Structure 1
Amino acid sequence: MVKSIDTDDKRAASTTLSTARSSSSSNEDDRIARLIKHEPKANWKSYFWDTLNKSPEERRFLFKLDAVILTLASLGYFIKYLDQVNINNAFVSGMKEDLKLLGNQLNYMQTCWTVGYVLGEIPSNMLLTRVRPSIWIPACEVVWAILTILLAKCKTTTQVYVLRFFIGLAESAFYPGMQYIIGSWYRKDELAKRSCIFHASGAIGTMFSGYLMAAVYKLDGKNGFKGWQWLFIIDTVISLPVAILGFFFFPDLPEITKAWYFTPDEIALAKKRMQLEGRANRAPYTKAKFKKIFSSWHIYLLPILYVLFNNGNGATSQPAMQLWLKGKGYSVSQINIYPTITAAITVVTTLIYAWTSDTIFRGARWPPILFSGVTLIIAYTSLAVWNIPDNWKWACFLLLGVGGGISGLTFAWAHEICKDDNEERALVTGTMNELAYVFQAWLPLLIWQQVEAPKYRKGYITMVAIAAGMIFFAFLIRYLHRRDTRRKELEREGGLRDVVEA
């Protein structure tokens, strides 16, 4: 009898303790939820930066998150783009003559990079759902930085082709991987700004490569290296420290983060933010999951939109303006510096798109895409005509920068559309970037042939058609997303009615 009473007491105590723990956990969740949902009255400051309209606790957390993610993402993309586009600057700054490059060999060098990039993207993004990003991404950065310096020692085009392939393979982890990570930490009203700031750093890398080539050309002949060889050497010197920092500061994902600069409360806050946003955590890949992903329009239309964006800025990835300036008799410094104005316009318009999309357009991503497409149609139509005044030709080359800023918006849109399934989000964003570069691997060989430079009539006409297609698919995706959102709301309302009636 005594033993029975003792057992009952223990069970009662255990039940009480379990209830207390559950209540405590529930109270903690409610407290964190209140911190996130608490929105002070909107003021003009919040239109400049969204954290100014959040609770002090969430603002402190976002300050840390922005300081780390935006710094690592922007610096990483800066060095990626620096190491990606330096081949164009080197080509017009002596590499062509020293390596005796003929015909379309620059196209082949670009294609080798693209093939490596394409092969690595989807496997890398799927791997990020299983491996800590703080290990995988910095390791890839170190590899491509070391391979870049080896370009300075190349004596034949075959050596350049091989190195460019493996540089592209290593770089494939970064852009789609960072877009996936950004989409795993930020809410809808925060996403476009961060995604676009990240993307703008690539344009800054393009600008800096031009300035760097103009500066290092003065080292031509120093220590036995040509000016274009010094470009590859200095690129690596810049890249390696940035890559190494990633091993110590990358925050991984909210559900697995071990970042030393976050408190336990801040980690709980990060998880709750994504829960309230409806963004799913990691889950196993199953046959049912793959069937669901490939039966949805997301995996097809979102990549098409990004393919059109990425390949619709073809002239900016070719030395079109540089070769036109070279034909006009401009100096090496001017040939490298003047085209950076286009990249500067890309940076400015990228940020304008981000802020207007998050604030004025209240999260709508299609208006900047429409503006970009219309501007590109005007500029590329004029360049296709070619026999236009030089002043207008200058304006058209510079206006092409308007089209480079919507990449971050398309990824932000994809994160929002695919928020219910983490693995779909990783696969879709990886596929977006991969298919864009699949087309970039062969399309330039047809429409951007160096033997037709700098007129590129086929290229400019194709860009007009692509810009029109981008506008069409943006409106189609908008329609389908709104339709699906309405269906979910009706299903939710129907479920609530069933509960009330029961």
Structure 2
Amino acid sequence: MGFLQRLRVAIWGEPAETQEERRLIVKLDWFILSFCCLMYWVNYLDRSVKVFYVGYTLAQVPNNIALQKLSPRIYFSTLMVFWGFLTLGNAFVTNVKQVFVIRFFQACMESATFVGTHYILGSWYKYEELGKRTAIFISAGIAGTLFSGIMQGSIYRNLSEWIRDVLLIVADTRLDGVRGLAGWRWLFIIDFLITMPVAIYGYIVFPGHPTTTTSRFLSVPEKILAVERLPEVVQKRGVLGWSLLKRVGMSWEVYCLSILALLAGDSEMFADNAILNLYLKYLKKYSVEQINYIPTAVSGIAIVANLMFSWYADWFRDDKGRIHVGILLCFTGLISGAIMLNPPSVNAKLFALFLNGVQLGFRSVLFAWANDICRRDDAKRAIVLGFMNAMTIAFYIFWTLLFYNTTQAPMWREGSIAMIANSLAMLLSVASVAWFSYIDKKRAALVEVPGSDAASDVVKVNNDEGIPKALDV
């Protein structure tokens, strides 16, 4: 095996056994990841106004339920068209109430992107393939933050005075721009013009769900292979009704994974709340462009962490790698919190703020882990993923206001204590998810052993749903 082939295996995993499956995976990588990453990037173009996050949080689960009955290709692309026109509507508002209404409904539609994409990735990819693709998708969003800081620093440092004047005009809501529209209104128009081609691209190339895909880019044998190569689903896509409430409400997954997700999100606080920017300003020895440039390193660290942790977790092909990553990030959270609580020097505090960037590397591992844990039940998997992100956002906003507001700068003592406590709680949460997952797999293994006394005790049919009792957790 040559160097390039070994490198490819190290980064992208072992190639599929057959040429047909390798060809299928290449198509999936292109048509799914290209659209989802573009959709996520457009999703991040304009997020402001607190009411946005209210709609964004509330619509997480309903959007993933809708994907059980509606074509994901049509649903995603149509939502993009609608939120594109709502974005355009922002350019013509005349009062703040109109802004709030538009942003609320826009958020409800945009909320389908993150958890919906995770649901789709879990529907197409195997255990050892999923983490890497999840990491690429999440890294696309983080990259937007990175390039935003670079762009801001470059504008301040390099642009000539007349271009700066133009930018000031665009940013000033009191001045009219082209055709009598203020500059900020033109920004929404530009966002709309960027969104629409991506939506059209989705209508054309996105394959949707493997069990219902009508993609012209996949042959009939490839569509069959896409379903057959994955573990069998006990409760297939679209099985809703009152039984779904029992399947979700009586399961450990929705509670334990949601708690772990919100704790993981809260462990990112030093990296996500512009705290490094504020601290650099407090030190009063960095220029404006440096204050914009330096924090982009945190986004770079987050991207590398996402990719590295996902490669590591996928390499094990079981829960071990994901458990290792979770435990590691509990300790890095503890370390960054402890240093921030009592920093021996300015450099030590800067180290803690940069170190916290690795916490963003757990997103891809955690959502891939949740996808694999819930593979047996498509609808439950969709709801669990939605609850995970909704809980993360809700607690993230609360945690930010309580422990990481600007009045606590530059020490963030309360935030440092909260980071330490959160990391300890996260360690217990990782252990609980690992334990319940182990019990589930042990039960499933007993079911698969014919003639086993244990299996005969475990396999009892649930009259309501017609599935093994051992699998109805």
Task: Please indicate the TM-score interval, normalised by the length of the shorter structure.
Answer: 0.7 to 0.9
How has the CA–CA distance of structure 1 residues 45 and 362 changed in structure 2, closer, same or farther, with 3 Å as cutoff?
A: farther
Closer/same/farther in 2, CA of residues 472 and 361 from structure 1, 3 Å limit? farther
What amino acid sits opposite 1:131 in the alignment?
A: L
1:181-229 deviations in whole A, cap 9, x for unaligned? 0000011111111112211111111112222333456544417312895
Q: 1: CA distance between counterparts of 2:137 and 2:206?
A: 15
Match of 2:464 in 1: none
The counterpart of 1:369, out of the listed 305, 326, 351, is 326
Residue in 2 that maps onto 1:433: 389
AA in 2 matched with 1:481 = S
Equivalent position of 1:268 in the other structure: 224
Q: Which deviates more from structure 2 when the two are superposed, residues 431-440 or residues 349-358?
A: 431-440
Instruction: Summarize deviations over 1:69-89 as a string: whole Å, max 9, x none.
Output: 1112222223323434xx5xx
Q: Give the Cα–Cα distance (whole angstroms) in 2 for the partners of residues 312 and 69 of structure 1.
A: 30
Aligned residues: 432
Tell me what 2:121 maps to: 182
1:308 counterpart = 2:263: yes
CA distance in 1, matches of 2:338, 2:188: 36
Q: Please, which runs of 5 or more residues in structure 1 have no aligned partner?
A: 1-41, 88-108
Q: 1:237-316, aligned counterparts within 5 Å?
A: 238-274=194-230, 276-278=231-233, 280-316=235-271
Within 1, Cα distance between the matches of 2:417 and 2:124?
Answer: 40
Does residue 132 (structure 1) correspond to residue 71 (structure 2)? The answer is yes
Q: 1:408 to 1:279 in 2, by over 3 A?
A: farther
1:389 alignment partner in structure 2:
345
1:47 aligns with 10
C-alpha displacement of 1:48: 2.8
1:482 aligns with 2:435: no
Counterparts of residues 50-129 of structure 1 (less than 5 Å): 50=13, 52-84=15-47, 109=49, 111-129=50-68
Tell me if the contact between 1:308 and 1:470 (Cα under 8 Å) persists in the aligned partners. Answer: yes
Please say if residues 69 and 238 of structure 2, whose CA atoms lie closer than 8 Å, have aligned partners that are also in contact: no
Structure possessing the higher radius of gyration over alpha carbons: 1
Amino acid aligned to 2:306:
T
Q: For residue 265 of structure 2, what is the amino acid of its counterpart?
A: N
Contact 1:78 1:205 in 2 (8 A): yes
The Cα RMSD (Å) is 2.9
Post-superposition offset of 1:170 = 2.7
Worse-matched range after superposition: 355-364 or 246-255:
355-364
Aligned partners of 1:163 and 1:211: how far apart in 2? 30
Q: Secondary structure at the match of 1:472?
A: helix
Q: Note the C-alpha offset of 1:145.
A: 4.8
Is contact 2:128–2:317 with CA below 8 Å preserved after alignment? no
CA contact (8 A) 2:232 2:376 kept: no
The alignment status of 1:324 with 2:279, answered yes or no, reads yes
> 1:397 aligns to what SS in structure 2?
helix
* Cα 1:148/1:238, change in 2 over 3 Å: same
Q: Are 1:220 and 1:226, in contact at CA under 8 Å, matched by a contact in 2?
A: no
Instruction: Write the distance in 2 (CA, Å) between the matches of 1:56 and 1:279.
Output: 28
The DSSP-based 3-state class of the residue aligned with 1:349 is helix
Q: Equivalents in 1 of 2:420, 2:242: separation in Å? A: 41
Letter in 1 for 2:171: K
- Post-superposition offset of 1:292: 2.6
Higher fraction of helix: 1
| Structure 1 residue 159: Cα displacement | 7.0
SS of residue paired to 1:262: coil
State whether residues 285 and 423 of structure 1, in contact with CA within 8 Å, keep that contact through their aligned partners in structure 2: yes
Of residues 196, 218, 240 in structure 1, which corresponds to 2:135? 196
Q: What do residues 446-493 of structure 1 show as CA deviations (whole Å, max 9, x unaligned)?
A: 222233334332223212211221121111111111112112222332
Following superposition of structure 1 onto structure 2, how do residues 16-55 of structure 1 map, counting pairs within 5 Å? 45-50=8-13, 52-55=15-18
CA distance in 1, matches of 2:51, 2:220: 46
Compared CA separation, residues 455 and 240, structure 1 to 2 (3 A): farther
Q: TM-score, normalised by structure 2?
A: 0.83
| Alignment-mate amino acid for residue 166 of structure 2 | K
Structure 1 counterpart of 2:166, from 217, 222, 228: 222
CA deviation vs aligned residue, 1:271-301 (integer Å, no higher than 9, x gap)? 1123x45475313312233213211111111
Distance in 2, Cα, partners of 1:300 & 1:165? 27
**Any idea what SS the aligned residue of 1:128 has?**
helix
Q: TM-score, normalised by structure 1?
A: 0.78
CA–CA separation in structure 1 for the residues paired with 2:223 and 2:15 = 20
Tell me: CA distance 1:82–1:379, structure 2 relative to 1, closer, same or farther (3 Å): farther
Q: Which range is displaced more, 198-207 or 133-142?
A: 133-142
Give per-residue Cα distances to partners, 1:104-137, cap 9 Å, x unaligned: xxxxx4x433212111111111011111111222
Does the aligned pair in 1 maintain the 2:13–2:315 contact within 8 Å? no
The percentage of counterpart residues that share the same residue type is 33
**1:404 shift after superposition:** 0.1
Supply the distance in 1 between the matched residues of 2:89 and 2:276 (Cα, whole angstroms). 28
Structure 1 window deviating more from structure 2 (251-260 vs 456-465): it is: 456-465
